[in-house]
Amino acid sequence: MGLWIIRSFFLILCVVAGFYCLPNSKIEGILIGFFGSLIVIGIEILLSKIPPKKLILAVSGLIVGLLTAILIANFFLLIPFEDQKTENLIRFGLYFIFSYLGIMIGIKGVEELGFILPILGGIKEGERLLIVDTSVLIDGRVYELAKSGFIDYKLIIPKFIIKELHGLADASSDTKRQRGRRGLEVLNKLREDKEISARVYDVDYPDIEAVDAKLVKLASELKASILTNDFNLTKVAEVQNIKVLNLNTLTTLLRPRLMSGEEISLKIIKEGKEAGQGVGYLEDGTMIVVENASKYIGKVIDVVIDSAIQTPTGRIIFARLK
């Protein structure tokens, strides 16, 4: 609201200036002041929608382009032309071409220049950076983990991850919509909590389709680590010597260790893959396979732990009836 008051005041000021600056043609002065102010306000609104980093680089590119055009024009025009119009046309053409190229190179090279000038991306040299992927935001535990202080990193959420979450939130599938919306809610909580160091990083790689490949490239460029729940992304990143923190691995390590011979009470939920097996779950989601327990589905029984195996998706415990 305050901005529109200032804009309205500027418009009135321009109209009054036009009225007094052209006393012999007051109507034309008013129209020039009115439409001129609208053009300026329109440009200001458009510029306000451009990220400051891109705007700075675009202006820098424009300045470099103009300087390059001046140098090249002075070089080509060492031999004077008889026709002044031709000379002016060449000079104008060079200014226009190099100004355009300077702006476009500045904008399109914003990601690469962001790594050369990290301050433009809100990143300081020497910071411990942790890039958060889609699966972690959907999972939601990252907020509590960051809030507790266990993550001693600055969290980086790339724009292409947010784009993927928006795509999920707009999907036709109810499951995907819920996942996408949950991810966006967790993202907002991370950004709004002043105790958590988290920042959205304006970066994308249009020439790369796979989000995992984008994450790996960004981590390599920023010398950052990746926080994920994705097993395949973990392996791909590790091959390229990028440190990966996997939340599922952390959860597995923190689960209480049930020893062989220990007795517990367990509710049998469903049948197992093999005949006669019953399956139940601990509170943390660990699956327990019980031999000869399929007839107890829906009931709580006492079982004895036999053994456990570690799989890429978690731990599976085998037990028998007491």
- What was the pLDDT predicted at 285? 72
DSSP 319: E
CA contacts within 13 A on the Cβ side of 207:
3
Confidence of residue 6 (pLDDT cuts 50, 70, 90): confident
The per-residue pLDDT for range 221-275, each reduced to its tens digit, is 888 889 888 888 888 888 888 888 887 777 766 666 677 888 888 888 888 888 8
The per-residue pLDDT for range 8-17, each reduced to its tens digit, is 887 888 888 8
**Residue 56 pLDDT exceeds 50:** yes
Is residue 143 exposed (0-12), middle (13-18) or buried (19+ Cβ within 10 Å)? buried
| CA 46 vs CA 39, 96, 108, 159, 228: distances in Å | 11, 21, 18, 20, 36
Instruction: Report how far residue 92's alpha carbon sits from residue 178's, in angstroms, rounded to the nearest whole number.
Output: 55
- What was the pLDDT predicted at 117? 47
Q: Which residue has the higher pLDDT, 80 or 27?
A: 27
Instruction: Report how far residue 284's alpha carbon sits from residue 299's, in angstroms, rounded to the nearest whole number.
Output: 19
- What was the pLDDT predicted at 23? 67
The per-residue pLDDT for range 90-137, each reduced to its tens digit, is 777 888 888 888 877 776 655 444 444 444 455 565 678 889 898 889
The per-residue pLDDT for range 40-53, each reduced to its tens digit, is 778 777 777 666 66
Confidence of residue 81 (pLDDT cuts 50, 70, 90): low
pTM, two decimals, is 0.51
The per-residue pLDDT for range 206-221, each reduced to its tens digit, is 788 888 888 988 888 8
Portion of the chain with pLDDT greater than 70, in percent: 86
